[in-house]
Homo-oligomer: A and B are copies of this chain.
């Protein structure tokens, strides 16, 4: 039993002949270019549909000649997660080069809306596509929309700006991520009852706020025996997170669970360790050199992860598909919420 999943290969020329027009006209219709009589458009479209014709991407790519340029706008400053994304883009160098794709990294202060917005404005016209780790702010939204209007394909990366007209979001559903963290803390705490601490960067960041929301949802609904303490805002800094958590641990002897929403993991781990509270169920985000070590040590119990390699590659593939006018394999580009424990460390 054998079943073929693809159609036989026709060419533009075949379609042209069948529709009784020239190559160029088929090309125009294929790309919704103006200057074709509606009736002709219809005839050509019918011929295309009738044969379920797919233009050969390789030929199209070759003929257009021009290389494509993409920009990745990423936070400046040391952030292991972002560094991983950059590293994975670097690993793709040969792949990109074989496709005549140029990717540039542009570092900016993504937490400062006006700065980010002007960085985006500066890109206008120069790129076929832009991936941006974006703060959700009106001025940023406007900058994104301007890019889109100028014909640039835009994807938001890791952090979304849903109110903008960006073409795609590459990242996880942060509410679901928070829910997952909540379920893990609750389940791993087991029969014990007590208090649960949350350390976040800032509740002003959309992704952090969403995670906390999801976490609380699950805690309230499913683990009524656990008492969630007010959120500590560590600004993703190690020292500050450590100090705040150390104080909290001192005040509450019955803390049994901890959710670290953002970065500052080093500080959180230190506070826990110095207080000798190895029994606390500790769930955080992202697999980095540090969290990997903490998981192996057993100090950290689980990391919720959004595979940075997948995000980097998905962003490139989506920008490429958008630029080519190809459909996006949405299932492929969807970023999953990975639960990483010691034994399934990637």
Contact = CB atoms under 8 A, between A and B. Distances in A.
Interface of A: 1-7, 9, 52, 54-59, 61-62, 67, 71, 76, 88-107, 176-177, 179-180, 182-184, 187-188, 190-192, 214, 218, 301, 307, 309-310, 313, 326-327, 329, 331-332, 334, 336-344, 346
B338 A338 contact: yes
Given A331-B88, A344-B180, A2 B105 contact: yes
Nearest to A5: B103
A341 B337 CA distance: 10
A91 B331 CA distance: 9
Contact of A188 (B7, B107, B187, B313): B187
Given A99-B58, A313-B332, A331-B88, A106 B1 contact: yes
A179 B103 contact: no
B343 A176 contact: yes
Contacts of A102: 4-6
Q: List the number of copies, as a whole number.
A: 2
Contacts of A338: 336, 338-339, 344
Contacts of A340: 339
A43 B9 CA distance: 39
Given A58-B62, A62-B62, A97-B54, A183 B346 contact: no
B5 A96 contact: yes
9 contacts: A54-B94, A57-B98, A62-B62, A91-B329, A95-B329, A179-B343, A183-B341, A336-B338, A338-B338
Contact of A341 (B7, B58, B180): B180
Contacts of A309: 331-332
Contacts of A76: 1
> Which 7 pairs from chain A and chain B are nearest by CB?
A190-B190, A58-B61, A339-B339, A179-B343, A337-B344, A58-B58, A54-B97
